[in-house]
């Protein structure tokens, strides 16, 4: 799930010589600007940080600095466009001009086609999607409505987990255990869920439901913590990203508590396991980490292309399919882990509104095009219902 602010706050070293933004700017934004400015001074061509810095200057209503740093991206050949949700406050002529230049360089790849629409679920705010090959259906989780839908290929949907059932928070990652006929669901407190209490301690719930009758089979609560996405092994082992504590956690078969399996990540998000179950892939803001499941040895996939800010992550025929939505305009990419080669599968789609995650069904990739995350104000407190459209699932042939 896209959360730019959390990463910038992890940049803890602030440059003391940089004058602070105006006093009306909140402290978190000031700290992010200081930390990112210092980091860029050390790595002046690090484009993801430059993009983030521009977006934080937008929060500070410093329009001249927004344009300055976007122009720097232009000088560096930025090809990821500019997301409107990251620049809500700047609309000067200079800003519009630089955005136009940047977006002309962004590639257009138009291969995806609508698969189905979740009619009647405008305010679901879907985040996770999983495919069950046994029943040939999809399961889609919702952040705002705090539920999970069971959806047929023609888009007919019904509640599988009803709103708030079993203490469910905002619905995030979902995965099908075909062998044990279970649906695993992650839900976490998030500002976009209905009923969120500002200032409350963040908590997560990991729940397993019997696919045959919807019965709750297991429930594990993680407090504090902000679990996000998950993957499964054939033996029933479960691995999940905890973006709140920068960890990967594991739930062993039959266990009732989560154990920290890997740490020192930076806003971990998408997670997937290789087909031979030897390698665990974890996407954080910096790129894609590769873990040996037997030894926990860690390396990062090296690539000439940016691998920062990937949300959903899936495996297909030895490659990784990911949705890159945290830097610039969103796109769907295929990554070859051994070579680092990146292929853009979809970009500049008119339906895109921060696409989040997807799932592989045979040789097709189904993903959420327009979850509705732009329908929230920047502080997440006001629900802008009039901007919502019905969620559309797109399909890509792999």
Q: How far apart are alpha carbons 206 and 179 in whole angstroms?
A: 19
Do residues 64 and 121 share a domain?
no
Is residue 97 in a domain? yes
Of 21-25, 114-118, 366-370, where does mean pLDDT reach its minimum? 21-25
User: What CATH number should be reported for the domain holding residue 224?
Assistant: 2.120.10.30
- The mean per-residue pLDDT over the stretch 325-337 comes to 95
For residue 381, pLDDT over 60 is answered with no
- The mean per-residue pLDDT over the stretch 191-214 comes to 92
For residue 34, pLDDT over 70 is answered with yes
**Tally of structural domains, the chain:** 2
Structural domain containing residue 166: 113-397
Is residue 71 in a domain? yes
Do residues 389 and 292 share a domain?
yes
For residue 219, pLDDT over 70 is answered with yes
- The mean per-residue pLDDT over the stretch 187-199 comes to 89
Q: How far apart are alpha carbons 130 and 146 in whole angstroms?
A: 16
Of 20-24, 256-260, 352-356, where does mean pLDDT reach its minimum? 20-24
Predicted local confidence at residue 380, as pLDDT: 59
Is residue 211 in a domain? yes
For residue 84, pLDDT over 60 is answered with yes
Q: How confident is the model at residue 200 (pLDDT cuts 50, 70, 90)?
A: confident
Show which of 76, 105, 134 is a domain's final residue. 105
Predicted local confidence at residue 382, as pLDDT: 56
CB 138 within 8 A of CB 151: yes
Q: How far apart are alpha carbons 64 and 94 in whole angstroms?
A: 9
For residue 16, pLDDT over 60 is answered with no
Q: How confident is the model at residue 150 (pLDDT cuts 50, 70, 90)?
A: very high
Q: How confident is the model at residue 225 (pLDDT cuts 50, 70, 90)?
A: confident
Q: How far apart are alpha carbons 296 and 81 in whole angstroms?
A: 36
> Is 46 exposed, middle or buried (CB count within 10 Å of its CB: 0-12, 13-18, 19+)?
middle
Q: What is the 3-state secondary structure (H, E, C) of 272-296?
A: EECCCCCEEEEEECCEEEEEECCCC
Q: What percent of the chain has pLDDT over 90?
A: 82
Q: How confident is the model at residue 74 (pLDDT cuts 50, 70, 90)?
A: very high
Q: How far apart are alpha carbons 267 and 4 in whole angstroms?
A: 9
Q: How far apart are alpha carbons 382 and 67 in whole angstroms?
A: 28
Do residues 94 and 243 share a domain?
no
Please give the mean pLDDT across all residues of the chain.
91
């Amino acid at each position: 799930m896209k959360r730019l602010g959390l990463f910038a706050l992890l940049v803890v070293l602030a440059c003391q010589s940089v004058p602070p933004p105006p006093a009306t700017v909140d402290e978190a934004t000031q700290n992010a600007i200081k930390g990112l400015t210092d980091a860029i001074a050390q790595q002046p061509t690090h484009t993801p940080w430059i993009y983030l810095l521009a977006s934080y200057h937008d929060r500070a209503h410093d329009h001249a600095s927004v344009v300055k740093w976007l122009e720097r991206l232009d000088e560096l050949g930025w090809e990821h466009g500019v997301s409107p949700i990251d620049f809500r406050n700047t609309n000067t002529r200079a800003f519009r001009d630089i955005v136009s230049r940047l977006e002309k360089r962004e590639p257009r790849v138009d291969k995806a086609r609508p698969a189905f629409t979740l009619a009647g679920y405008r305010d679901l705010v879907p985040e996770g999607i999983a495919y069950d090959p046994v029943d040939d259906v999809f399961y889609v989780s919702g952040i705002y409505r705090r539920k999970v839908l069971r959806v047929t290929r023609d888009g007919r949907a019904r509640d599988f987990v009803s709103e708030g059932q079993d203490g469910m928070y905002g619905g995030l990652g979902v995965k099908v255990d075909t062998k044990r006929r279970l649906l695993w669901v992650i839900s976490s407190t998030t500002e976009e869920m209905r009923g969120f209490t500002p200032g409350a301690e963040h908590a997560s719930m990991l729940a397993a439901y019997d696919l045959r009758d919807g019965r709750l089979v297991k429930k594990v609560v993680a407090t504090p913590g902000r679990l996000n996405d998950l993957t499964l092994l054939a033996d029933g082992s479960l691995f999940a990203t905890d973006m709140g504590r920068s960890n990967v956690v594991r739930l062993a078969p039959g266990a009732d508590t989560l154990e920290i399996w890997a740490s020192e990540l930076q806003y971990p998000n998408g997670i997937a396991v290789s087909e031979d179950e030897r390698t665990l892939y974890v996407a954080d803001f910096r790129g894609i980490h590769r873990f040996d499941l037997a030894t926990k040895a860690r390396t990062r996939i090296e690539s000439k292309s940016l691998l920062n800010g990937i949300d959903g992550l899936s495996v297909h025929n030895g490659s990784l399919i990911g949705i890159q939505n945290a830097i610039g305009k969103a796109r769907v990419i295929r990554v070859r882990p051994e070579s680092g080669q990146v292929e853009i599968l979809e970009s500049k789609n008119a339906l895109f509104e921060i696409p989040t995650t997807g799932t592989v069904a045979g040789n097709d990739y189904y993903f959420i095009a327009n979850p509705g995350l732009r329908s929230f104000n920047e502080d997440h407190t006001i629900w802008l219902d009039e901007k919502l459209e019905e969620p559309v699932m797109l399909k890509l042939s792999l």
